[in-house]
């Protein structure tokens, strides 16, 4: 059974909805900048969503942001857009979401009181700590009454959410599902990635030979997935088709990717097989491309193994959005649909020189008028988790 | 869907890793029984591991050994809270040192998929690997995913497991939130090697399960159980023991009903502990906890009023 | 220098949880990475934190770390030269 994408919603540092994101991607306007909202001592660049929690709440019609984590607010905003874009009746729809640190944006502040051993501690922010909190609140907010799941597989989380939803639809366990993921920027993740020494103190340069690391970002990206029968019956419109996917493990190191990119290679190979297409059929690859020395080198090797000398157009959009962790796969799935809709390829900003060992050159300018038949979108993460999605013209 | 159980292992307040029979949890203790993880994980590999990782990875390795399986085709794990010890450690140093001199190890190990990732790393598994973190229904999420995996790979062997840890700080927070349940908070890990087809190793089966989300009430939970019995073509009379994790009164003609959380403690993936307990009851290894003998079929029920409900039927095969 | 070497061994064993290794067995010229000690890239990051915390010496890149962290002796020599 065909799994179709009938709605998309996104919020990131380059815009609060699909049209704003598209505008920034077209015009090369990156979301990297000095940190404004997060209270941190670090002077690192990052990709914050340019809205306060109260502004986010107002944008989705909540009277106050009180009691909500930023994670939940971001997810509500993007999931609402996806649902509205598809025009589905939410009643029986399922919701498969993903994130890496749940409501850590509130927990890390409350933890200061615990660490200081204060006599009176306000424990209430911890109620939003667990990863499932945002999933439950978004489902309730949008009236999604079907199956629920929350996935946390590091940086591949939301791509995996899309996989589960697709499998359930293919197998007749559901007709329509909203799937994707979210993460808010937190001190916890900023300091975590800083302790790994993989944050660039300048705007990141994915796939460049002189790349120094990644910039963290925040945001959310969701798609509405539907069975062909369900879409037809309600007279909805398909934006694209999810034609293939695969989840594999690199089984190499807890945080680093293998030099030959085994996990990514297996994921891409199996996703192509599932879509019943060959590497030559791929029009565009939205690479994981974090901008770290290790990821981009490893992913390059995996691409060379798949495509050999016929590398398709490819780019990392993380130079725009930063690495949004649990949201990355969802946001990039939305961008993949936008590439198909617009017949365009988004630029890989700040690239100058190819990585010496691989020589791969990404698309550096916004390119229009391209027939995009199949997009391959990669998401790779800690714990060796590797996921590829194939998104195709419906 | 029916799942055959081919091997299992776990730790809980009522069970130590690798122990055959259940014991009465120590008075006042909320923690999983002390286990010697060095027997299963070599010290070099376990040197960085916190409690959750030792419980989860240790249980996974023993479950696979019991199933006589070197390489499962998929690893699907669930955890409500993830690696709390490492999360707290990193947060603690971050606050104390004002965002300087932070050890990366605690951060690396704090991600929720560390248990699944480490299992893949130790055993060289490049296959399907998912981690579910949907609160009290994380383990149920694993079963649903296992079902989708078996649908595509009927001959596969899938490792599923749930694990959660309790730390002094998480206990302080849980008590501070005043969400104290009737039973004590707890922790544990339960891992199961499953197949959709009966193998020579199969000794028990999850005959069926149901899960639903959203607000529940007496009626909807009872309906869910009737639906499950209908799925499995079983009658109420055929249930010998109910392991209940719900306030809803459940009475079946021939069943003894037991609140499983008095043995597992209260934690998000406690239902994986209840499944371990069901196994022991069916295998006659739970006499320290439950009097009933000759048990053929156990019903497990799990409800969380605003979030959802699930039930599972486990029997001999 | 000898005291420094002994201190470093103790700190490395403790900080990296090398429970199966004693100070006596820990060869001063033994390779930390790739040899019997078998440290990995996460340990390298931990060593950077250890040196900054205990000796106030900052290593800012992984490449510098590679040169310094060959053996306990190379670390000790680096610390001596940075006093």
Of A132, A139, A187, nearest to B135 by CB-CB distance is A132
Query: What is the rounded average pLDDT of the residues A25-52?
Result: 98
Tell me the longest C-alpha to C-alpha distance in chain C. 32
Do A230 and A268 reside in the same domain of the chain?
no
- At A37, give phi and psi (nearest 5°): -95, -40
Three-state secondary-structure class, residue A2: coil
Do B179 and B101 reside in the same domain of the chain?
yes
CA distance B4 to chain A (A): 21
Q: How far apart are CA B139 and CA A114, in angstroms?
A: 30
Query: What is the rounded average pLDDT of the residues C18-44?
Result: 92
For B:147-186, CB contacts with A below 8 A are: 147-148, 151-152, 169, 172-173, 176-177
Of A168, A249, A255, nearest to B148 by CB-CB distance is A168
Do B15 and B118 reside in the same domain of the chain?
yes
Residues of chain B with pLDDT under 70: 179-181
Do A268 and A223 reside in the same domain of the chain?
no
Sort out which chain C residues have CB atoms less than 8 A from A253's CB and list them.
40-41
Which residues, in sequence order, are CB contacts of B208 under 8 Å at separation 6+? B1, B2, B228, B231, B232, B312, B313
Do B180 and B217 reside in the same domain of the chain?
no
Tell me the count of A-C CB pairs closer than 8 A: 13
Do B95 and B119 reside in the same domain of the chain?
yes
pTM over 0.95: yes
Do B190 and B251 reside in the same domain of the chain?
no
**B268 in A contact zone (CB under 8 Å):** yes
Sort out which chain B residues have CB atoms less than 8 A from A123's CB and list them.
173, 176-177
Last residue of a domain, one of B147, B167, B195: B195
Note the pLDDT of residue C83: 77
DSSP string, B97-142: TTT-S--HHHHHHHSTTHHHHHHHHHHT--SEEEEE--GGGHHHHH
* A85-108 per-position pLDDT tens digit: 999 999 899 999 999 999 999 999
CA distance A332 to chain B (A): 20
> How sure is the predictor about A223, in pLDDT bands with cuts at 50, 70 and 90?
very high
Do A67 and A186 reside in the same domain of the chain?
yes
Query: What is the rounded average pLDDT of the residues A326-331?
Result: 98
- The number of folded domains in chain B is 2
Parallel, antiparallel, or unpaired: how do β-strands B308-316 and B297-304 relate?
antiparallel
Do A278 and A355 reside in the same domain of the chain?
yes
Do B73 and B221 reside in the same domain of the chain?
no
Q: Compute the C-alpha angle B239/B161/B118, nearest 5°.
A: 170
Do B170 and B72 reside in the same domain of the chain?
yes
Sort out which chain A residues have CB atoms less than 8 A from C62's CB and list them.
197
Among A215, A348, A359, A216, smallest CA distance to A287 is for: A348
Dihedral of the alpha carbons of A216, A219, A221, A222, in degrees to the nearest 10: 140
Answer yes or no: do A254 and B108 touch at CB < 8 A: yes
What kind and span of H or E run contains A248?
strand A240-249
The CATH number covering residue A288 comes to 3.40.47.10
Q: Which residues of C27-54 are buried (b: 16+ CB within 10 A; e: fewer)?
A: ebeeebeeeebebebbbbbbbbbbbeee
Last residue of a domain, one of A234, A265, A281: A234
What range defines the domain where residue A381 resides?
243-392
Q: How far apart are CA B192 and CA B262, in angstroms?
A: 22
Query: What is the rounded average pLDDT of the residues A51-78?
Result: 98
Do B122 and B14 reside in the same domain of the chain?
yes
Q: How far does CA B173 lie from the centroid of its chain?
A: 22
A101 to chain B: nearest residue by CA? B111
A155 flagged as catalytic = yes
What range defines the domain where residue C15 resides?
2-81
- Considering the candidates A230, A288, A344, A374, report the single residue annotated as catalytic: A288
Answer yes or no: do B104 and C42 touch at CB < 8 A: yes
Note the pLDDT of residue C62: 78
Do B54 and B145 reside in the same domain of the chain?
yes
Q: How far apart are CA B272 and CA B230, in angstroms?
A: 23
The position carrying tokens 């790393």 is B121
What range defines the domain where residue B165 resides?
3-195
How high does pLDDT run on average in chain A? 97
The CATH number covering residue B142 comes to 3.40.47.10
A323 flagged as catalytic = yes
Note the pLDDT of residue B180: 64
C49 to chain A: nearest residue by CA? A195
Find which of B74, B96, B98, B112 to mutate to test the A interface (most A CBs within 10 Å of its CB).
B112
Q: Are B82 and B268 in contact (CB under 8 A)?
A: no
Answer yes or no: do A253 and C40 touch at CB < 8 A: yes
- At B249, give phi and psi (nearest 5°): -75, 125
Do A111 and A213 reside in the same domain of the chain?
yes
The CATH number covering residue C52 comes to 1.10.1200.10
| Structure token pair of residue B145 | 């995913």
Among A247, A284, A297, smallest CA distance to A267 is for: A247
- Secondary structure letter of residue A68 according to DSSP: -
Residue A356 has pLDDT above 90, yes or no: yes
Last residue of a domain, one of B195, B228, B258: B195
Q: Tell me whether residue C76 is exposed, middle or buried, using C-beta atoms within 10 angstroms of its C-beta: 0 to 12, 13 to 18, 19 or more.
A: buried
Among A60, A5, A10, smallest CA distance to A324 is for: A10
- The number of folded domains in chain A is 2
B107 to chain C: nearest residue by CA? C42
Do A23 and A132 reside in the same domain of the chain?
yes
Do A179 and A299 reside in the same domain of the chain?
no
CA distance A195 to chain C (A): 8
Q: Compute the C-alpha angle A19/A22/A28, nearest 5°.
A: 140
Answer yes or no: do A253 and C45 touch at CB < 8 A: no
- At B315, give phi and psi (nearest 5°): -150, 175
- Considering the candidates A47, A129, A131, A323, report the single residue annotated as catalytic: A323
Do B189 and B100 reside in the same domain of the chain?
yes
Note the pLDDT of residue A62: 98
The position carrying tokens 């916004």 is A366
Of B104, B132, B133, nearest to A196 by CB-CB distance is B104
Last residue of a domain, one of A201, A234, A267: A234
Q: How far apart are CA A307 and CA A235, in angstroms?
A: 38
Do A80 and A107 reside in the same domain of the chain?
yes
Sort out which chain B residues have CB atoms less than 8 A from A102's CB and list them.
133
> How sure is the predictor about A169, in pLDDT bands with cuts at 50, 70 and 90?
very high
Last residue of a domain, one of B143, B165, B195: B195
Do A189 and A143 reside in the same domain of the chain?
yes
Sort out which chain A residues have CB atoms less than 8 A from C49's CB and list them.
195
Q: Are C75 and A227 in contact (CB under 8 A)?
A: no
> How sure is the predictor about A359, in pLDDT bands with cuts at 50, 70 and 90?
very high
Answer yes or no: do B48 and C52 touch at CB < 8 A: no
Answer yes or no: do C48 and A197 touch at CB < 8 A: yes
Do A367 and A280 reside in the same domain of the chain?
yes
Last residue of a domain, one of A234, A261, A281: A234
Of the CA atoms within 13 Å of residue A234, those in its CB half-sphere come to 16
* ipTM for the complex shown: 0.97
- Considering the candidates A155, A230, A344, A374, report the single residue annotated as catalytic: A155
Q: Tell me whether residue A352 is exposed, middle or buried, using C-beta atoms within 10 angstroms of its C-beta: 0 to 12, 13 to 18, 19 or more.
A: exposed
Do B164 and B211 reside in the same domain of the chain?
no
Sort out which chain B residues have CB atoms less than 8 A from A191's CB and list them.
90, 94, 99, 102, 107
Residue C44 has pLDDT above 70, yes or no: yes
Residue C7 has pLDDT above 90, yes or no: yes
Do B18 and B49 reside in the same domain of the chain?
yes
Q: How far apart are CA A260 and CA A331, in angstroms?
A: 26
Answer yes or no: do A254 and C42 touch at CB < 8 A: yes
Q: How far apart are CA A264 and CA A387, in angstroms?
A: 7
Instruction: Give strand pairing partners of B172.
Output: none
The sign of the CA dihedral A228, A229, A230, A235 is positive
Of B47, B102, B103, nearest to C18 by CB-CB distance is B47
Q: Are A234 and A381 in contact (CB under 8 A)?
A: no
Q: How far apart are CA B7 and CA A363, in angstroms?
A: 51
Q: How far apart are CA A308 and CA C52, in angstroms?
A: 44
Do A184 and A55 reside in the same domain of the chain?
yes
Among A203, A225, A228, smallest CA distance to A213 is for: A203
Of B43, B44, B104, nearest to C46 by CB-CB distance is B104
Of the CA atoms within 13 Å of residue C29, those in its CB half-sphere come to 0
For the CA atoms of chain A, what is the radius of gyration? 19
Q: How far apart are CA B4 and CA B193, in angstroms?
A: 8
What kind and span of H or E run contains B6?
strand B3-11
Tell me the count of A-B CB pairs closer than 8 A: 191
Sort out which chain A residues have CB atoms less than 8 A from B94's CB and list them.
108, 187-188, 191
Parallel, antiparallel, or unpaired: how do β-strands B74-78 and A45-46 relate?
unpaired
Answer yes or no: do A251 and B116 touch at CB < 8 A: no
The position carrying tokens 């293939």 is A244
Residue A329 has pLDDT above 80, yes or no: yes
Do A365 and A319 reside in the same domain of the chain?
yes
Note the pLDDT of residue A272: 98
Q: How far apart are CA B110 and CA B60, in angstroms?
A: 19
């Amino acid at each position: 059974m065909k799994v179709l994408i009938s709605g998309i919603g996104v919020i990131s540092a380059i815009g609060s909805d699909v049209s704003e994101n598209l505008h920034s991607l077209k015009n090369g306007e990156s979301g990297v900048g000095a940190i404004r909202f997060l209270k941190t001592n670090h002077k690192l660049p990052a990709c914050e969503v340019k809205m306060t929690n109260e502004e986010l709440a107002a944008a989705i019609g909540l009277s106050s942001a009180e009691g909500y984590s930023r994670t939940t607010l971001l997810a509500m905003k993007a999931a609402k857009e996806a649902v509205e874009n598809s025009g589905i009746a939410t009643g029986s729809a399922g919701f498969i979401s993903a994130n890496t640190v749940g409501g850590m944006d509130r927990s890390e502040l409350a933890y200061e009181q615990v660490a200081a051993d204060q006599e009176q501690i306000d424990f209430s922010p911890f109620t939003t700590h667990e990863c499932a909190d945002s999933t439950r609140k978004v489902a309730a907010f949008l009236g999604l009454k079907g199956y629920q799941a929350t996935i946390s597989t590091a940086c591949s989380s939301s791509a995996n959410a899309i996989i589960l939803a697709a499998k359930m639809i293919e197998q007749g366990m559901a007709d329509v599902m909203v799937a994707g993921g979210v993460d808010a920027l937190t001190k916890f993740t900023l300091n975590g990635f800083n302790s790994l020494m993989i944050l660039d103190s300048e705007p990141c340069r994915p796939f460049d030979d002189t790349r120094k690391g990644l910039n963290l970002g925040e945001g959310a990206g969701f798609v509405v997935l539907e069975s062909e029968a369900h879409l037809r019956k309600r007279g909805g419109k398909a934006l694209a088709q999810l034609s293939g996917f695969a989840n594999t493990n690199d089984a190499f190191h807890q945080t680093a990717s293998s030099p030959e990119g085994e996990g990514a290679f297996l994921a891409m190979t199996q996703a192509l097989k599932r879509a019943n297409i060959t590497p030559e059929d791929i029009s565009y690859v939205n690479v994981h491309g974090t901008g770290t020395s290790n990821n981009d080198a490893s992913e390059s090797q995996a691409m060379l193994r798949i495509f050999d000398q016929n590398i398709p157009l490819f780019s990392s959009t993380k130079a725009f959005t930063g690495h949004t962790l649990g949201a990355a796969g969802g946001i990039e799935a939305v961008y993949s649909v936008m590439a198909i809709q617009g017949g365009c390829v988004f630029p890989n900003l700040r690239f100058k020189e190819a990585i010496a060992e691989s020589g791969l050159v990404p698309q550096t300018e916004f390119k229009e008028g391209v027939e995009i038949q199949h997009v391959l979108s990669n998401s790779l993460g800690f714990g060796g988790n590797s996921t590829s999605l194939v998104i195709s013209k419906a | 869907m029916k799942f055959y159980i081919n091997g299992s292992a776990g730790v809980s307040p009522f069970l130590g890793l690798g122990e055959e029979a259940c014991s009465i949890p120590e008075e006042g203790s909320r923690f999983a029984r002390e286990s010697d993880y060095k027997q299963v994980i070599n010290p070099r590999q376990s040197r960085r591991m916190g409690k959750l990782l030792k419980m989860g990875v240790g249980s996974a390795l023993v479950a696979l050994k019991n199933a006589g399986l070197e390489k499962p085709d998929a690893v699907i794990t669930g955890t409500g809270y993830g690696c709390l010890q490492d999360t707290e450690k990193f947060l603690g140093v971050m606050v104390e040192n004002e965002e300087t001199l932070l050890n990366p190890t605690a951060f690396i190990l704090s991600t929720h998929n560390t248990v699944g990732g480490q299992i893949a790393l130790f055993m060289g598994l490049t296959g399907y690997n998912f981690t579910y973190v949907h609160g009290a229904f994380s383990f149920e999420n694993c079963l649903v995913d296992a079902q989708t995996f078996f649908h595509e790979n009927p001959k596969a062997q899938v490792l599923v497991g749930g694990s959660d840890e309790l730390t002094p700080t998480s206990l302080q927070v849980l008590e501070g939130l005043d969400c104290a349940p009737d039973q004590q908070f707890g922790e544990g890990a339960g891992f199961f090697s499953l197949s959709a087809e009966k193998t020579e190793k199969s000794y028990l089966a999850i005959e069926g399960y149901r899960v639903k989300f959203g607000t529940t009430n007496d009626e909807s939970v009872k309906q869910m159980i009737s639906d499950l019995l209908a799925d499995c073509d079983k009658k109420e009379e055929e249930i010998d023991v109910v392991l209940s994790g719900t306030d809803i009164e459940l009475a079946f003609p021939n069943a003894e009903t037991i609140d499983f959380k008095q043995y597992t403690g209260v934690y998000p993936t406690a239902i994986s502990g209840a499944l371990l307990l069901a196994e022991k009851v069916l295998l006659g290894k739970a006499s320290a906890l439950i009097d009933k003998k000759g048990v053929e079929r156990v019903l497990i029920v799990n409800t969380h009023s605003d979030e959802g409900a699930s039930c599972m039927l486990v029997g001999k095969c | 220098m000898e005291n420094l070497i002994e201190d470093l061994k103790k700190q490395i064993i403790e900080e990296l949880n090398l429970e199966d290794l004693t100070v006596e067995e820990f060869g001063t010229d033994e390779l930390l990475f790739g040899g019997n000690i078998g440290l990995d890239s996460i340990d390298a990051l931990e060593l950077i934190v250890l040196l900054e915390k205990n000796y106030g010496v900052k290593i800012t890149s992984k490449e510098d770390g590679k040169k310094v962290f060959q053996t306990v002796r190379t670390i000790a020599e680096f610390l001596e030269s940075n006093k």
